[in-house]
Structure 1
Amino acid sequence: MKLILLSALLTALSMPGMLWGYLIWIALIPFFLGMRSSRPLGGALKAFLFGFAYLMITHYWELPVLALNVPEVLDSFPNFIGVVVYVLMCLVIAVPFAGFGFVYSIFWSFFQTRKFTGALFAASLFTVFEGLRELGPLGFTNGRLSDALLNSQLGISQLLALGGPLLLVFVVVLVNHYLADLCTRRKGGRISLLVTAVAMVALVNALIQSAIPLRPTDESSEKTLYALQTNISQQLKYYAPPEETLKVVLMGLEEIPEGSTVIMPEATFMSDIRITPTGARLVELAQERNLEILVGFPIYNGENYNQVRFVNGDGFSGEFYAKVKLTPFVEFLPWPKIFGAFEFLKFLDYFDAGEEFAVFSVDGHEIGAQICFDSLYSEVARNLTLNGAGIIVISTNDGWFNIETALQQHFSKGIARAIENRRYVLQVSNTGITAIIDPYGRVLKRLPTINEVNTEYVIGAFQYLPGTQITPYTRFGNWFFFFSLVLGIAIAILGGVFPVKHEDDAKEILSTFKRIVVVGFSKNPDKPSNNVPMYLKEKGYEIIPVNPTMEEYEGMKVYPDLKSVIADGMNLEAVEIFRPSAEAEEIAIEAIELGARAVWLQKDIRSEKARKLASERSVLYVEDKCMYVEHRRFFT
């Protein structure tokens, strides 16, 4: 279990705003080492604990939000309830990992001697369950393995334009699983292996990144949007009259050049302002300065929407974009009969999910706007692009988050959306990160957050080139999910249901494994149970002697039984048994149950039960053969 928790920690530390994104290329190695030899239920539990731990660490910033910030502002539940909700949230979003662990543990043994096939299967399976993690009313995509690449590895991240986040997840798992298998086959030099692997990934990333086109400088096609980032506290938003917010907004708008198009944050106002003095004053200023202003506020017309729409001198537009991906429990209550007790988590009100991906045609701009939580899902930006958006705008209120990590993780989703669709993405936030990202994920300009400059608002002009390209991902969506599903099923059928039979398991064992556990090792050099393993030691194999009557032999530690070998931190690779048939059968079965990848019974020793169990578990199996003779036959 230590390996599982270590992997969870390393994975979390690779996420945006944490430690180092390149950790993701080795973070899953302890996880896959810990999953070896697990039974399905045990594998499900291990994978669930991995998901729970890494998602809990990744989203540590949610704890002060739920336990301090929200109770302080809304006064709707005590602080300790926020802690309980945080734990329950992590438990729920970790459930898909249990499914992966269950299925992986069923099929793992079928691929234990075929490194690349096993890595392909693990990557396909993990990708499928990662795809399932975003489905349904409780779907959640933050903390994906692909997120680790978004801030520091823009070269490899270009794969997003081909297959979206799931393609990156597949590649990350493939590399980790393959490296985990290599680690089990090496006696030493594992650290150098991992360092070399990360260095190679960094080199590949640098080579791809060097090929990314420079930003065009065609000023004739360049367009400008202005962002008005407000720095208004949640207390003021919820309890002060809208006129207080209006004062800040008007001061900011007065500084923006006349005739401009302005983007403002989500829920700039916390009530419908269309037929209020606040709305009338906003229209008046828009008319005075000839402004087109995208502003966010809720509306209640039979259906409740968290929406954004434009306002100009003629009033509020009839066209609007309503948030499609609502935040569970905060903006809607999933499955009320089950989760009705959690209604106290409601923020402003419950909303209906939008169904239209409206693109605003305003003053020469084709603006695809999305709101806050929408940016976590590729679907929204993709549909806006297909509907003709030349730029994607993310209007968000990050006023609940006091920790920079939360802002970085949210902003990184905009980087993914930009690359996926080859569109500029402009995020405009209340108190959070306001910045523009080019179609290759490069952050071109960023305004200071409230933690960096203590002002009521910040204004910025952002230039962009309207996009027209349709990427494979934009056109075909999550095709890689179905590819992974088909690939995983095919590998399971060909390698699991109908496993490949090796023509000569003896040669396979001697070629594949460099660590041999010798049960029945003798201190008498005249016996085969001594001279055979010592011969193999001379040929470069690592010999692990097992004999309950010995403690040491020629500098080698001698173990009393197989469980002691595992307890000392070593996996059972090949197990050679020098015991009479009656004892050998029991030892062989124990070795297989403990996860041995190959079992070898010496000359004149056979076991029908062990042979059958090895076949069922796809464990390489040899009986009635001398390892010395076979080694000389194949390699001398």
Structure 2
Amino acid sequence: MIYLLTLLSGVLTGLAMPGNLFSFLIWGSLIFFLKNLDNSKRTLDRFLHTFIFAFSMLFTTLWWQLPVLSKNIPDILGSYSSFMGVLGFIGEILLLSLPYLLIWLLTEIFNRKFRETSFWNKVLFYSFAYTSAEILKDFGDLAFSGGSLGYAIWDHVGLIQLASIFGYLGLTFLIVFVNSFLAFDKSKYWFYKLPIVLSVLFILNFSIERFIPIENIEKDPLKITAVQTNESQEIKYNINSWKSYVDFSDKLRQAEKTNSDLVIFSESTFMEDITKNEVYDAFKINVKDIGKDVILGFPKSEAGEYYNTAWYFDEQANLVDSYNKIGLTPFAEFLPYEFIFDNFASFKLLRFYERGSEPGVFDVNGDKLGVQICFETYFSEISNSQVKNGAEALISITNDGWFGTKTGLTQHFTQGIFRAVENRRDFVQVSNTGFTGHVDKYGRVVKAIAPFQEEITTFEINKNDGKTIYFHIKEILKLLILIAALIFAIL
């Protein structure tokens, strides 16, 4: 029965994640897991509780990847079977669960025999231990922050302002602290404290939100025209560059009529390097005709190697700059730890890519834009490095056409909310199927195009060159959390 309660904790936590059910579930969803973990007397029991929670939480959070891996990709590319896709999804969840075993290891130290622990000792220990596990998720070739607790409160506009000081990890700490406060209360009526705690959090969130300044458009904002094509992957992956160009040309002509400085298309606008064929000449004529700068994505082929690249052309169709993706997606874009996962090469999409070396910051007529590609928005380090290199606003281009559900699209788009608050930079995501949208520096969605529809719209982006507290203390904060977790485990 106790394992079922831990399983319930994991499922409820996953259901609190963006696009699933209700975010407020996160404020009590960990209680059963924390109680069971702390009350267990055996090492094996603590291990099982940790693993069951992590696996069920991640499975429920990332369930939308199952149809992507087992149906969408096999149907379109035919590179592996649907059964292999199911196994691949289960393997992915297993790998993503591994960092959470740090909670178990620290708990083994914390719960040693004959040790007396107080209420506050437990509350702080589990808060630091869980946050430490999320720090571990950011390391290595399998790094992926999806499923981190802080992301659940993306719609708590007041509370997420803490991310400008402590990042999304600080929000995770707050969530575990609240859950631990309720879980380890030994009083007879502890359950009745839950609505009180929720009320306090609601009032606090509302109060902070009320004092957030209204974002006024600057005298000279950067005007961006975003193009959401809603082109299916079946079409995108089965037509040549000329047919892709026809659609691109049509959308570019429509964008010409907008009042903007820059037109942005999604990742994988073309599926091959058009600079190597005759499409490039027609492309340049098209860009020059509309008289606007253009950013778009297509692969770069260079000396037999490929890069997932964002390209920037000025209004005269001159290639000004390009950015090769740094944060590649494991298995889909590169093979991590090849000596272990050599047999999983079939999970790649069209090809494997080489990793870029420099943060993508484009100088667009004097405005510095940090440009990211697809899942790079999950890595706060990339946004941080772009701000360090002068980025005044952040932009992401992505090919989310693989995701057939709003859950996957929502979880991806909401990453921009946290990157915006952490850096106090306006954030724009341009996706082929959605969400395409503009988030202000306080994490508020200013304007967005609904998913699965074709639309061209213009965003007015404010620039900012200030630095947040989180920008300055990011690395030392991680170190302090890890040290605190170890200290509370030992002392």
Smaller-chain TM-score bracket: over 0.9
Q: Distance in 2 between matches of 1:198 and 1:443?
A: 24
Q: Which of residues 67, 90, 109 is equivalent to 1:87?
A: 90
Q: Distance in 2 between matches of 1:112 and 1:228?
A: 60
Partner of 2:364: 362
Q: Distance in 1 between matches of 2:173 and 2:475?
A: 13
Letter in 1 for 2:298: F
Q: Which of residues 33, 36, 54 is equivalent to 2:35?
A: 33
Partner of 1:346: 348
1:509-548 equivalence runs, <5 A: none
Q: Distance in 1 between matches of 2:117 and 2:364?
A: 60
Residue 492 in structure 1 maps to residue 489 in structure 2: yes
TM-score by length of 2: 0.95
Q: Which of residues 443, 468, 473 is equivalent to 1:471?
A: 468
Q: Which secondary structure state, in structure 1, belongs to the residue aligned with residue 299 of structure 2?
A: strand
1:333: how far off? 0.4
1:482: how far off? 1.0
| Equivalent pair of 1:163/1:479 in contact (CA under 8 Å) | no
Partner of 2:244: 245
1:81-120 equivalence runs, <5 A: 81-108=84-111, 113-120=117-124
Q: Distance in 1 between matches of 2:30 and 2:117?
A: 19
| Equivalent pair of 2:267/2:399 in contact (CA under 8 Å) | yes
Q: Distance in 2 between matches of 1:305 and 1:93?
A: 26
1:148-227 equivalence runs, <5 A: 148-150=152-154, 152-182=155-185, 185-187=186-188, 189-218=189-218, 220-227=219-226
Residue 73 in structure 1 maps to residue 70 in structure 2: no
1:69: how far off? 0.3
Q: Which of residues 41, 44, 47 is equivalent to 2:47?
A: 44
Q: Which of residues 122, 134, 142 is equivalent to 1:138?
A: 142
| Equivalent pair of 2:406/2:451 in contact (CA under 8 Å) | no
Residue 235 in structure 1 maps to residue 234 in structure 2: yes
Q: Which secondary structure state, in structure 1, belongs to the residue aligned with residue 336 of structure 2?
A: coil
Q: Distance in 2 between matches of 1:461 and 1:138?
A: 36
Partner of 1:458: 455
Unmatched runs of 5 consecutive residues or more in structure 2: none
1:112: how far off? 6.1
Q: Distance in 1 between matches of 2:464 and 2:283?
A: 31
| Equivalent pair of 1:125/1:488 in contact (CA under 8 Å) | yes
Letter in 2 for 1:122: Y
Q: Which secondary structure state, in structure 2, belongs to the residue aligned with residue 444 of structure 1?
A: strand
| Equivalent pair of 2:393/2:464 in contact (CA under 8 Å) | yes
1:476: how far off? 2.9
Q: Distance in 2 between matches of 1:358 and 1:370?
A: 7
Q: Distance in 2 between matches of 1:265 and 1:426?
A: 11
| Equivalent pair of 1:44/1:99 in contact (CA under 8 Å) | no
Q: Distance in 2 between matches of 1:449 and 1:484?
A: 38
Higher relative contact order (CA 8 A, sep 6+): 2
Letter in 2 for 1:212: I
Letter in 2 for 1:248: D
Partner of 2:280: 279
**Alignment deviations for residues 164-196 of structure 1 (CA, whole Å, 9 cap, x no partner):** 1111111111111111011xx132x34422121
Letter in 1 for 2:266: P
- Structure 1's 321 and 266: CA in aligned 2 closer, same or farther, altered over 3 A? same
Q: Distance in 1 between matches of 2:204 and 2:342?
A: 50
Residue 9 in structure 1 maps to residue 6 in structure 2: no
Q: Which of residues 406, 417, 425 is equivalent to 2:419?
A: 417
Q: Which of residues 439, 447, 454 is equivalent to 1:445?
A: 447
Q: Distance in 1 between matches of 2:320 and 2:289?
A: 21
1:74: how far off? 0.6
Unmatched runs of 5 consecutive residues or more in structure 1: 496-636
Q: Distance in 2 between matches of 1:279 and 1:313?
A: 15
Q: Distance in 1 between matches of 2:196 and 2:294?
A: 52
Letter in 2 for 1:240: I
Q: Distance in 1 between matches of 2:397 and 2:430?
A: 5
**Alignment deviations for residues 41-74 of structure 1 (CA, whole Å, 9 cap, x no partner):** 3212210111001101111111111111000011
| Equivalent pair of 1:124/1:170 in contact (CA under 8 Å) | yes
Q: Distance in 1 between matches of 2:115 and 2:225?
A: 56
| Equivalent pair of 1:332/1:350 in contact (CA under 8 Å) | yes
Partner of 2:268: 267
Q: Distance in 2 between matches of 1:111 and 1:30?
A: 22
Residue 481 in structure 1 maps to residue 478 in structure 2: yes
Alpha carbon RMSD of aligned pairs, Å?
Answer: 1.6
| Equivalent pair of 1:164/1:478 in contact (CA under 8 Å) | no
1:341: how far off? 0.7
| Equivalent pair of 1:283/1:312 in contact (CA under 8 Å) | no
| Equivalent pair of 2:360/2:372 in contact (CA under 8 Å) | no
Q: Distance in 2 between matches of 1:129 and 1:358?
A: 29
TM-score by length of 1: 0.74
Partner of 1:428: 430
Q: Which secondary structure state, in structure 2, belongs to the residue aligned with residue 480 of structure 1?
A: helix
1:485: how far off? 1.6
Q: Distance in 2 between matches of 1:271 and 1:488?
A: 48
Q: Which secondary structure state, in structure 2, belongs to the residue aligned with residue 36 of structure 1?
A: helix
Bigger radius of gyration among the two:
1
Question: How many residues matched?
Answer: 484
Q: Which of residues 393, 396, 400 is equivalent to 2:395?
A: 393
Q: Distance in 1 between matches of 2:431 and 2:217?
A: 27
Q: Distance in 1 between matches of 2:486 and 2:106?
A: 11
